[in-house]
Amino acid sequence: MMRNLFLAVLTFFVFSQIAVAQRQSVLIAPQTTDPNISTNLNNHYVSINRSVAPKNQLFVFFPGTGGVAFNYLEINNTAADLGFHAVNLTYPNNEAVNDLCGFPNTNLDCYGNVRLEIKDGIDRTSLVNISRANSIENRLIKLLIYLRNNAPNDNWGQFLINDETLNWSKIIVSGHSQGGGHAGIIGRYHSVVRVVMFAAMDFNGLANSPANWIALPATTPNASTPDKFWAFSHTRDEAVNFTILSTRIWTAYGMTNYGAITNVDSSAPPFNNTHSLTSNIECDNFHGCIAADARLVRQNGVPVFKPVWEYLLSNTVAPFSINSIQFLRFGKTVNRPQVGISSKYYRISIEGNGFDKNSKAAINGIETETEFVNANTLRAKLPSGKIGAVGGSTLQIRGLNGAVSNVLNF
């Protein structure tokens, strides 16, 4: 039977590659990867897009309470199309952590104990009973081993240090609601590429406080620095109080040090380069419509929040950067023109790293005509007008999906 299932999976990969010629996706039953997994047996969902350059990073998404991997196909597919190896993981999530640790409980360590037991299967609390086999870590390890063995050309093994240890340094953790909380605590305990949380909060109303693992980073290994934390939530979320979330939870993560909360309804990527995003869009379920397939708002079949997801996953791999610029006149390098000289016959040559044919130069925030020379050089037309004062103009390179470089003043 195992051999038949193995052949079926391989057939799915091959068929998908022929039929789609871009993204390939497969459903894999947890017990197929490890017969000791005995609960929450709905399929994992795995995607890879072999037609785009691989980022060599793993996107792992955790569904919300009672949800399964198949409920969040769109965000997984988006990650795969950006070059990530993408996994939606089914795991023990039958009960909400905030229900287990909420009223009449005021123990602020409860949330961390429950989440950590779900993560690694080590007994910490009587509120849940998670074995190592059924834990998040074991499920993901065994899935990666299975994929490494059954699809060897796709390099799934790079996300394992060995057959018992995940290579967290190459993993983005993400999730919705309860799943977002698991992503958050994993970021506290492991140094990951990025934490992306959707509508996620551990807050005890009776104690009027976030869980200790959030509010008191020093009580955890605090392994991922604050710049690694990103989040998106609806202002009218029925399950998560956005005021508390944005003022007390996101602040505790340190996210608000990386830009003001930005409403995506009235702005576009890169959303002021903030880590804190919200929406007030109309939908039939505010808690779910930012991530769950059944609740998504779509335009012409495309989720309206797809650009938001792409932005949240941007610049996870050595982003392009600007090192220096030189002024050009009729193609030849010249000294910086005097202030007030017409810019008509001048361009700039931009030296840096990671440029591609989609890279655009933005001068003073406005994209201008840009020529791709190679991965280290771009040429850009100066806006019409006069050359400004030294240091008075800004240059930034922008790419697809919200990727941006550093800002250079010239």
CATH code for position 381: 2.60.40.10
- Rounded CA-CA distance 100/84 in Å is 34
pLDDT per residue as tens, the chain (410 positions): 333 333 344 444 433 433 344 899 999 999 999 999 999 999 999 999 998 888 889 999 999 999 999 999 999 999 999 999 999 999 999 999 999 999 999 999 999 999 999 999 999 999 999 999 999 999 999 999 999 999 999 999 999 999 999 999 999 999 999 999 999 999 999 999 999 999 999 999 999 999 999 999 999 999 999 999 999 999 999 999 999 999 999 999 999 999 999 999 999 999 999 999 999 999 999 999 999 999 999 999 999 999 999 999 998 876 677 889 999 999 899 999 999 999 999 999 999 877 888 899 999 888 999 999 988 899 999 998 999 898 889 898 887 656 777 788 89
- Rounded CA-CA distance 385/340 in Å is 9
Instruction: Let me know whether 352 and 265 are in one domain.
Output: no
Instruction: Let me know whether 285 and 386 are in one domain.
Output: no
Closest CA to 404 of 361, 369, 357: 361
Instruction: Let me know whether 221 and 351 are in one domain.
Output: no
Instruction: Let me know whether 371 and 242 are in one domain.
Output: no
Instruction: Let me know whether 293 and 349 are in one domain.
Output: no
Final residue in a domain of this structure, among 262, 287, 312? 312
Instruction: Let me know whether 396 and 298 are in one domain.
Output: no
Q: How many domains does the chain have?
A: 2
Sign of CA dihedral 88, 184, 94, 127: positive
Instruction: Let me know whether 56 and 86 are in one domain.
Output: yes
Evaluate if pTM is beyond 0.85.
no
Looking at residue 386, the DSSP 8-state letter turns out to be: B
Residue 319: the pLDDT is 62
Instruction: Let me know whether 206 and 328 are in one domain.
Output: no
Residue 20: the pLDDT is 43
Final residue in a domain of this structure, among 312, 332, 360? 312
Residue 167: the pLDDT is 94
Instruction: Let me know whether 206 and 253 are in one domain.
Output: yes
Instruction: Let me know whether 38 and 21 are in one domain.
Output: yes
Final residue in a domain of this structure, among 312, 336, 370? 312
Residue 402: the pLDDT is 61
Helix (H, G, I), strand (E, B) or coil at 348: strand
Helix (H, G, I), strand (E, B) or coil at 57: coil
Residue 336: the pLDDT is 92
In angstroms, what is the C-alpha Rg of the chain? 23
Helix (H, G, I), strand (E, B) or coil at 195: strand
Type of residue numbered 206: L
Instruction: Let me know whether 292 and 362 are in one domain.
Output: no
CATH number, domain containing residue 154: 3.40.50
Instruction: Let me know whether 355 and 227 are in one domain.
Output: no
Residue 343, domain extent? 321-409
List the structure tokens of 105.
Answer: 């409980």
